[in-house]
Structure 1
Amino acid sequence: MLVKLRVLSIQQSTLTGSIPLEIGNMTELKKLLFTRNYFEGQLPGTISNLMSLVVLDLSENQLGGQIVPELGNSSLLDTVSFTRNNFSGLFPSSICIGGTLRFVDARHNGFTGIHHQTFQNCTTLEHVDFTANNIVADIRGCFGEHLWQLSTIAFSQNQLHGTLLTDGGEVFPCNYTYLSLIDLSNNVLQGGLSKCFWDMPSLEFMDLSNNSFDGVVPFSSRCAETLSYLHLANNHFEGTFPLGLKECKSLVSLDLGSNNFSGSIPSWILDLSRNKLIGPVPDDFTNLTGMNQKDIYFLYNDRYIYQVQIQIIWKNMDYVYGFLIAVMAGIDLSGNSLSQEIPIGLTSLLGLRYLNLSGNHFSGRIPNDIGNLVLVESLNLSENQLSGEIPPSFAGLKSIGTLNLSCNGLWGMIPTGNQLQTLVDPSIYSNNPGLCGFPLEDCANWSTSTQSKTSQAEDREAFWVYCSVAAGFIFGFWLYWGAFMFCSETWRCVFYECVDHVQGKVTIICNSELINKTPYQHHI
C-alpha cells in the first residue's frame, strides 16, 4: 500500500464501487480528490485515520449514508467538499475540531441537520454552503457568535425557521463583519429586518426571497458600497417602496416582486411585479447604468463560483433563470396599477434582456424606438390599453424568443423580421381586433373579409328597412279600408280627422327640416 503518498487525485474518471477501507492506511495523505466519479455506498470509517488530511473533495459522486463523526480528527483539515452526493443525517460535529477548517461545501445532498456544536467555535471558517438539503433547524442555532472570518453563508432550499434576531436583540448575521454573501432563500424564516444589513461593509449578495419575512424594509442613510445583488421577493414586506435603497449605488440586481409594497415607483428598479404600485413609470433611467451595457459580467472569487437563480413571471407561469451571479438585466413591473404611456427612456437600456409590463393600465402607443432593445429575449406588454400600430422598429428585435402583445387595442399590419417570423403562435397578438399579418390572417384577406362583412351588414340593414316599409304599407292599407268598410260614419269621421292631424304635423316637421338643410342664400 502507498503509505507515504501525500496526494491522491483521481478526478473526472469512471471509477465505480465503494471507496476501499484501505484508504485509511495512507496516514500521510494530505489531499484526497475523487471529484466526478461513480463511487457509491458509505464513506469508510477508516478515513478518520488520515490525521494529516488538509483537503477532502468527494463532490459529484453517488456516495450516501451518514458521515462518520470522527472525520474531523485531522488537526490540519482546511477544505471539505461533498457537493452532489446522497449523504444524509446530521453533519459531523467534529469537522472543525482541529481549529483550521475554512471551506465547507455540502450542496445538493440530504443532510437533515447540523449539530449545534459543529460551527460554534470554528473561528477559522470562511465559507459554508448547504444549498438544497433537508436541514430543519433554527438559523440562530447553526452558528456561533465568534465567526469573525465568515464570508459566505448559503442555506437556500432547506427548512430553516425562526427569525434573524438573537436573544440579546442583535441581528444575525450583522456581527459578521467579513460577510460578503448570504443566501437564505426558500426557507420558512419570518420576522423583520434591521437596517444593520445596509451597513455591513463587505456585503455583496443577499437573497432572502421565498420566506415569510414581514414588516417594513428599514430605512438607512447608508448602504454598503459593495452590495450588488438584493433579492427579497415572495415575502410579506409592506409599506412604501424602500427609498433608502437608492443609497446602494452598486446594485445591479434588485428583486422585490410579490410583496405588498405600495405608493409611487422610483426610476432605479428591476423587479417590482405583483405589488400595489400606481401612477406613471418615471422616464429617467440614467441611473440604470448596468442596463446600458451589452456585456455580461460575472462575480466570483479565486476558488468559488456561486450558482444563483432568479424567478420571472411570464404569461402567468414561473420561469427560473439560472446564472452565475451575472447581470441578467431586466425590468418586471407586471401586475400593478401603473398608467399613462410607456416611458420612451426604456428604449435607451440597450442591455435589457427581459421586460414585463403586463397587467397594468398603460395607454398610448408602443415607443417607436422599441427596436433599439436588440438583446431583449422576453417582452410582455399584454393586458394593457395600448393602441395604434406596432412600430416598424419591432423588426429589429433580433434576440426575441418570447413575446406577448395580447389584450390591447393595437391595429394595423404586424411588422416582419427574421426573428419575428419564428414566433408562430397567434395568441401572441390575440384580442387586438385591428391587427393583421403573420401569424394572423393576411392583411389583404383581412381587408377583403372586412369589406365583405361591412357589405353584408349593409345588405342586412337595407333588407330590414324594406321589410319595415312593406309591413307599414300593408298595415296602413288595411287600417284605412277597415275603418271605411266596418266602422260607423261617426267613427270614420273621427278616424280621418286624426289621420289628417298627424299628416299635418309630419308635413310641418319635414318642411322645417328641409329649410334647415337648405344652404343660406343672401338676397340683395
Structure 2
Amino acid sequence: MLVKLRKLILDYNNLTGSIPPEIGNMTELQELSFAQNYLGGQLPGTLSHLIKLQDMYLSENQLGGHVPELGNSSLLRMVDIHMNNFSGMFPSSICVGGALRYLIAAYNRFTSIHQKTFQNCTTLQHVEFTANNIVAELNGCFGEHSRQLEVMAFGQNQLYGGILADEGETFPCNYTLLLFLDLSNNALDGSISKCLWDMPSLEFMDLSSNSFAGVVPFSRTCEDTLRYLHLANNHFIGAFPLAFKKCKNMITLDLGGNNFSGTIPSWISKSLPRLRFLRLSSNMFDGILPNQILNFRKLQLLDLSKNKLIGPVPDDFTNFTGMVHASKNSDDDAYVEQIQIVWKNVGYAYSTTITGMVGIDLSDNFLSQEIPGGLTTLIGLRYLNLSGNHLSGCIPEGIGNLLLLESLDLSRNQLTGEIPPSFAGLKSISTLNLSSNGLSGRIPTSNQLQTLVDPSIYSNNVGLCGFPLEDCVSSSALTLSETRHDEDMEALWLYCFVAAGFIFGLWLYWGMFLFYSETWRCAFYQYVDNMQGKVGKKVHCCISWFQAKALNEEVHHGMLKLKGRVCSISLPWL
C-alpha cells in the first residue's frame, strides 16, 4: 500500500465499483480526486483517518448514502462532492479544523444541515447546496462567524423563514464580502431588507420562486457591483421599484410573475444603460409602451407579456443594436444564469437558457394598430411573440429579413391581407402560429415552411389556402366555373321567356275565342300555327347548340368554348 502517497488523482476515467476502505491507510494523502467516474456505494468511514487531507474531489460519480465525519483533518480546505446521490444530514464536524474554504455539495439528496455545521466555519468562502432536499430555517444555518462568505447557493431546496435583517441580526447583510447569493426555488417568505441593495460586493442575487411579499424597499444607493437580479415568481407589489434607478451596471433584471403595477417608467433605459435582459411578464403594468424603452443599445431580451399595456408598438428600433447582430457571449457573463422563457406556439412550450437568447415577447396585452415595420430590421431576432393583442393591418413585407427567426407567433389578432411572399425566406423557422386572424390568399411555400405540417397554425383564417390547408382553386378553373355559371343563367332566362310566351299566348287564345268572331278566330289560328312552326325551329336550334357545346366540353375537359350563333326567341306583340 502506498502509505506515503500525497496525491491520488484519477479523474476522468471509467472507474467503477466503490472506494476501498484501505484508502484510510494512506495517512500522508493531501489530495484525493476521483471526479467524473462511475464509482458507487458509500464513502468508507476510514476517510476520517486522512488527517493531512486538504482537497477532496469526488464530484460526478454515483456515490450515495451518508457522508462520514471528516473533521479529523485540521487542514481540509476543499470538499467537492456535487452530482452524486448522497443523502441524510450533512455532517456537523466538517469545519472543526477551521480551514475549510470551499464546500460544493450541489445536486445530491441531502435532507438537512446541522445548525452547528457552519458555526465554526470562519474561513468558509464558497458554499453550494443547490438542488437538494434540505428542510431548514435559513437564519439558523449561518452565524456571525461566516462573514468571509463570497458565494452562497441554496437554490432548489425547501428552506423556510425570511431574510429580513432587523436591527441586531447579521444575516445576510453583514456578509460584506458576498458576491453571489442564490436562494431561488425555496419556501422563503416575508419582506426583504433594503440593505440587500447596499451590499458593497454583491454582483448576483436570485430570490425568484419563493413567497416574498410587500414592496421592494427604496434605497438611496444601489451599489455599482449589482449586475444580475432575479425576483421573479413572488408576491411583490407596488410600482416599478425606484431602488433600481441607480443600478447603472445591471445586466439582467427579472421581475416576472409578481403583482407590480403602474406604468413602465421612461427613465429605465437611461438609468440601466447596460441592461441586456429585461423581463416584466405576468404583472399588472398598464399604460402605453414608452418610446424610451427602445433606447436600450445592448438589450437582447424584452419580455413584457401578460400585462395590461395599450396603444401602438413604437416603431423606431434603430437603437436596438443588441438585437441586430447574432448574440455572442460577452465578457460581462461572469456567472452562468438562466431565465425560464416559455414561448407558447401551437401547443408547445419552450424553455431556454439566457445565453444566446434574442427575442421580444409582447403577447397577451391590449396593443393595437399595425405591426411596426421597424421590427424587421432586428435581424438577430430568434423569438418574436405578438399574439393575443388587437394588432391590425398586414404582416410587414420585410418579415423575411429575419433569417435567424426560430419562433414566430402572431395569433389572436386582427391581421388582414395576404401572408407576404418574403415568408419563404424564413430559413430557420421551426415554430409558427398565425391562427385566429383575418388573413387570406395563398400560403407561401419554401423548404423550411414545408416542414410545418400542422394545419392549426393557420386555423381560423377563412381566406387562407395552400399547404398544409386545402389547395387553392386555380385561376383557369375559376374562369371555367364562372363561364359555366353565365351560360347556365342564359339557359335559365331562355326557358323563362319560353314559359312566359306560352302563358301569354294561352290567354290571348282564350280571349280571341270568347270575344271575337269566327273569321277572326280562324285567322288567329292560322297565325298561331305559323308561329308554332317558327318557335319549334328556334327551340330545336338552341337545344342542338347546347348539346353540341356540352359534347365539345366533355371531349376537351371543359377548356374549349364553342363559338356559335346565339339563339333567341321573340314573340311579336299582337
Q: Which residue of 2 aligns with 1:295?
A: 327
Q: Which residue of 1 aligns with 2:565?
A: none
CA distance, structure 2, for counterparts of residue 422 and residue 198 of structure 1: 49
Q: Which residue of 1 aligns with 2:451?
A: 422
Q: Which residue of 1 aligns with 2:130?
A: 131
CA distance, structure 2, for counterparts of residue 286 and residue 151 of structure 1: 40
Task: Return the offset for 1:110.
Answer: 0.6
CA distance, structure 2, for counterparts of residue 153 and residue 118 of structure 1: 14
Q: Which residue of 2 aligns with 1:276?
A: 308
Q: Matched residue of 1:379: which SS?
A: strand
Q: Which residue of 1 aligns with 2:176?
A: 177
1:320 aligns with 2:351: yes
- The superposition leaves residues 462-517 of structure 1 with CA deviations (integer Å, 9 ceiling, x where unpaired) of x9xx99xx9xxxxxxxxxxxxxxxxxxxxxxxxxxxxxxxxxxxxxxxxxxxxxxx
Q: Which residue of 1 aligns with 2:31?
A: 31
8 A contact 2:367–2:390 mirrored in 1: yes
CA distance, structure 2, for counterparts of residue 74 and residue 443 of structure 1: 80
Q: Matched residue of 2:214: which SS?
A: strand
Task: Please tell me whether Structure 1 or Structure 2 has the larger radius of gyration of its CA atoms.
Answer: 2
- The superposition leaves residues 447-467 of structure 1 with CA deviations (integer Å, 9 ceiling, x where unpaired) of 9689979x99xx99xx9xx99
**Compared CA separation, residues 381 and 224, structure 1 to 2 (3 A):** farther
CA distance, structure 2, for counterparts of residue 37 and residue 330 of structure 1: 39
Q: Which residue of 2 aligns with 1:400?
A: 429
1:256 aligns with 2:256: no
CA distance, structure 2, for counterparts of residue 436 and residue 45 of structure 1: 72
User: Percent identity at matched positions?
Assistant: 65
1:203-282 counterparts in 2 under 5 A?
A: 203-219=202-218, 223-242=222-241, 244=244, 246=268, 247-266=271-290, 267=293, 270-282=302-314
Which letter maps to 1:251?
L
Task: Return the offset for 1:252.
Answer: 2.1
Q: Which residue of 2 aligns with 1:141?
A: 140
**Compared CA separation, residues 54 and 391, structure 1 to 2 (3 A):** farther
- The superposition leaves residues 410-458 of structure 1 with CA deviations (integer Å, 9 ceiling, x where unpaired) of 22232333322222211111111122222222333599689979x99xx
Stretch deviating more after TM superposition (133-142 or 257-266): 257-266
Q: Which residue of 2 aligns with 1:166?
A: 165
- The superposition leaves residues 331-372 of structure 1 with CA deviations (integer Å, 9 ceiling, x where unpaired) of 223222333333333333333222222222222232333333
CA distance, structure 2, for counterparts of residue 368 and residue 275 of structure 1: 28
Task: Return the offset for 1:224.
Answer: 4.5
**Compared CA separation, residues 441 and 190, structure 1 to 2 (3 A):** same
- The superposition leaves residues 308-338 of structure 1 with CA deviations (integer Å, 9 ceiling, x where unpaired) of 352314146543224xx62422222322233
Task: Return the offset for 1:2.
Answer: 0.8
CA distance, structure 1, for counterparts of residue 320 and residue 220 of structure 2: 20
Task: Return the offset for 1:294.
Answer: 1.0
**Compared CA separation, residues 137 and 419, structure 1 to 2 (3 A):** same
Which letter maps to 2:238?
G
1:329 aligns with 2:358: yes
8 A contact 1:299–1:326 mirrored in 2: no
8 A contact 2:181–2:205 mirrored in 1: yes
Task: Return the offset for 1:261.
Answer: 4.1
Number of aligned residue pairs: give it. 461
CA distance, structure 1, for counterparts of residue 382 and residue 112 of structure 2: 39
- The superposition leaves residues 101-121 of structure 1 with CA deviations (integer Å, 9 ceiling, x where unpaired) of 222221211111222222244
CA distance, structure 2, for counterparts of residue 451 and residue 192 of structure 1: 75
CA distance, structure 1, for counterparts of residue 3 and residue 12 of structure 2: 24
Q: Which residue of 2 aligns with 1:479?
A: none
Q: Which residue of 1 aligns with 2:14?
A: 14
**Compared CA separation, residues 53 and 156, structure 1 to 2 (3 A):** same
TM-score by length of 1: 0.77
Task: Return the offset for 1:297.
Answer: 0.8
1:377-392 counterparts in 2 under 5 A?
A: 377-392=406-421
Stretch deviating more after TM superposition (84-93 or 142-151): 142-151
Q: Which runs of 5+ in 2 are unaligned?
A: 246-267, 500-574
8 A contact 1:231–1:254 mirrored in 2: no
8 A contact 2:71–2:94 mirrored in 1: yes
**Compared CA separation, residues 11 and 343, structure 1 to 2 (3 A):** same
1:93 aligns with 2:92: yes
CA distance, structure 1, for counterparts of residue 144 and residue 304 of structure 2: 35
- The superposition leaves residues 217-275 of structure 1 with CA deviations (integer Å, 9 ceiling, x where unpaired) of 44557544454443333222333344646333333223333344444445257223323
CA distance, structure 1, for counterparts of residue 20 and residue 188 of structure 2: 42
1:430-509 counterparts in 2 under 5 A?
A: 430-444=459-473
8 A contact 2:143–2:171 mirrored in 1: no
Which letter maps to 1:46?
T
Q: Which runs of 5+ in 1 are unaligned?
A: 471-524
CA distance, structure 2, for counterparts of residue 222 and residue 388 of structure 1: 52
CA distance, structure 2, for counterparts of residue 351 and residue 406 of structure 1: 25
Which letter maps to 2:278?
L
Q: Matched residue of 2:13: which SS?
A: coil
Q: Matched residue of 2:322: which SS?
A: helix
1:32-47 counterparts in 2 under 5 A?
A: 32-47=32-47
Q: Which residue of 1 aligns with 2:251?
A: none
CA distance, structure 1, for counterparts of residue 24 and residue 316 of structure 2: 65
8 A contact 2:163–2:193 mirrored in 1: no
**Compared CA separation, residues 292 and 204, structure 1 to 2 (3 A):** farther
Q: CA RMSD in A?
A: 3.6
8 A contact 2:144–2:170 mirrored in 1: no
Q: Matched residue of 1:421: which SS?
A: helix
8 A contact 1:339–1:362 mirrored in 2: yes
- The superposition leaves residues 365-419 of structure 1 with CA deviations (integer Å, 9 ceiling, x where unpaired) of 3233333332222221211222222233323322221111111122223233332
Which letter maps to 1:277?
L
Which letter maps to 1:250?
R
TM-score by length of 2: 0.71
Stretch deviating more after TM superposition (254-263 or 28-37): 254-263
Which letter maps to 1:321?
T
